[in-house]
Amino acid sequence: MTFLAGEFDVAVIGAGHAGIEAGLAAARLGCRTGVFTINMDAVGNCPCNPSIGGTAKGHLVREIDALGGEMGKAADECFLQSRMLNRGKGPAVHSLRAQIDRRAYSTRMKHTLERQENLELRQAEITDLQQTEDGRWLLTTRLEAQYLSKTVIIATGTFLGGRIYVGDVSYESGPDGMFPAAFLPSSLEKLGMSIRRFKTGTPARVLRSSIDFTDLEEQSGDEPIVPFSFETEDPGENRVKCYVSWTNDRTKEVILQNISRSPMYSGKIEGVGPRYCPSIEDKIVRFADKPRHQLFIEPCGMDTEEMYIQGMSSSLPEDVQLEFYHTIKGLEHCVVMRPAYAIEYDCCDPVQMDHTLEFRDFPGLYGAGQFNGSSGYEEAAAQGLIAGINAALKVQGRAPLLLDRAGSYIGTLIDDLVTKGCNDPYRMMTSRSEYRLILRQDNADLRLTPFGKEVGLISEERWKRFCQKRERIEKELERIRKTVISPSEEVNALLESCKTAAVQSGVHIAELLKRPQLSYEALKPIDRTREETDPAVLEQVEIEIKYEGYIRRQLQIVEQVRKMESKLLPKDICYEAIEGLRLEAREKLSRVRPENVGQASRISGVSPADISVLIIYLSTLKNRTEEDSLC
């Protein structure tokens, strides 16, 4: 018999990376929040790679932190090794990545939820979701407890209708052998939600003592360590090494001989897999001309002997897995503790949502993470944070937080999902942003901390430190633009030692910094007036000066785009009735229902000519409104 067990302002279904950020954000904004998870021991679990960050993903983590989220702080506390990727390229693509202790990370996040004021963490499977006559949502658990909530955030990860595949064997399951959310999918379909099937996978874990590290390439962490969180003052030290190996002709041969036994190629898996993180059998088939594929051997934690084989996810049978793993240098005698598997799961079509991540047809219902069709811990956490903030703001009757693609990677991620949708699990990459020169990970705090403060997730103490940093950057920029270095033997000797031209007359420090051969550190012996020593401040100033022209041009483009974003489209607009729109444009616009002309212009199948028709239509609409007001 059902019974009413409690009431919430915000209810979060799932306690993975999306659910954690959603729950914490809503509770910290003063809303009574309930977070439901099938297994309390899996809060913040990392069922795939034991790492946080990576290319573009590191940008997301720093943006989450700048807005007041938790992932960056937790990663800093639980990291084993830290590296800045792409250092050989420009600052726009520098991305922080950290190996973490996955169990320590999970424990830390669970404890954070347990201690959070206004938040209740419950172990329960939500099996049914219905909207009541008064607009609230009724959640029913498998044990027939019921909860009423003003808003709900679905953050189910890969649990929703989860099914594991290993060769010919398949069974209902969530990740890591946990129970799936087996009943909620039918409830969502009864609501009228569009649901589809995606698939992802994970590699095997092998016993450390069974690996021969003798001839493997070592991969050490960076020094000094750059933390994820702008609040972390002492990031600690690297504690482990990672290792690199490669597949070979024998690996390829074993996989191809058994490819018919893969559920991906036998047709047993219906879900669409991730394009940018394919299984090893998919790599072998799709990139047949490649003689080998790289893999990384990474520790899962300090208190476990499990090693993660990154780059080798598979759904082949266990006996085939053992055979091909044993063909790889260092793994010839490895003991597989957990075999690789593929997992198929249900998710929604994200074009059903607004940029707030609220479903247009289901007021008060939000989605976040892999439920929205994305992949990755960082993408999930970013969406969870925004969904949690906006659910709380809706309850409080406040304006929502809307991040545009010109101001953040989070804005790009959400805009891509709700505007373009995704035909396979969406992964964030720096190439997805047309504004990546100004959306760097190093300036995430300068871009987004004001939003976090306005919402209410940034403390007064942190805001004060942020304002001081911003002022110091402006002060240093002013100094180097005004300070002149006079020519001298010492000055020219230093310039020539850096393989750059000598100066014949006085030159501003800013002009010298624009030279690619020079840096703050190189100019230190001749820069007599420099007082600033904070590396973060100096980094911002140097990037600002070196890329000043490019940044200015990109900001001009941003301004033009934001003018398009300001042209709002009526929510009740009937695209079928607008003369001049092509049939495809009418269909796509009716499906996505864009909020403004800028978003409409990014929909695949909507041409510049269609946008011109929309702008003319809006002008006509405005003129009619003005005429009506005069009558």
Instruction: Looking at 201-279, list the stretches that DSSP marks H as alpha helix, in order from N- to C-terminal side.
Output: 249-257, 263-266
Same domain, 232 and 286: yes
Q: What does DSSP assign to residue 554?
A: H
Residues 136 and 48 in one domain: yes
Retrieve residue 82's tokens. Answer: 């830290």
Quote the tokens at residue 326: 């044993």
My answer on whether 334 and 355 are in the same domain is no
Same domain, 7 and 98: yes
Q: Which residues contact 39 (CB under 8 A, 6 or more apart)?
A: 123, 178, 179
Tens digits of residue pLDDT in 47-84 = 999 999 999 999 999 999 999 999 999 999 999 999 99
For residue 237, tell me if it sits in a domain: yes
486 and 592 both lie in a single domain: no
Residue 192, in any domain of the structure: yes
**Under 8 Å between Cβ of 313 and 264:** no
Which 3 state secondary structure label does DSSP give 218?
strand
Shared domain check, 363 and 335: no
pLDDT digit string, tens, across residues 117-130: 999 999 999 999 99
CATH code for the domain of 539: 1.10.10.1800
Question: Does residue 154 share a domain with residue 111?
Answer: yes
Question: Which phi and psi (to 5°) does residue 288 adopt?
Answer: -60, -25
In this structure, the answer to whether residues 431 and 400 fall within a common structural domain is yes
One domain for residues 424 and 372:
yes
Q: Which residues contact 625 (CB under 8 A, 6 or more apart)?
A: none
Q: Are residues 39 and 143 in the same domain?
A: yes
pLDDT value for 275: 73
- Structural domain for 573, as ranges: 566-630
Residue 181 token pair: 């959310």
Burial class (CB in 10 A: 0-12, 13-18, 19+), 179: middle
Alpha-carbon gap, residue 201 to 196, rounded angstroms: 17
The confidence score (pLDDT) of residue 200 equals: 92
Q: Is residue 579 part of a domain?
A: yes
pLDDT digits (tens, 9 = 90+) for 547-569: 999 999 999 988 888 888 888 88
Give the predicted TM-score (pTM) of the model. Answer: 0.94
SS3 of 490-505: HHHHHHHHCCCCCCCC
Each residue of 250-273: pLDDT tens digit?
A: 999 999 999 999 988 777 877 777
- Give the count of domains, the chain: 4
Tell whether 124 and 241 lie within a shared domain. Answer: no
Q: How many residues does the chain have?
A: 631
pLDDT at 113: 98
Q: Which residues of the chain have pLDDT under 70?
A: 276, 624-631
Domain boundary among 517, 549, 581: 549
Residues 184 and 315 in one domain: no
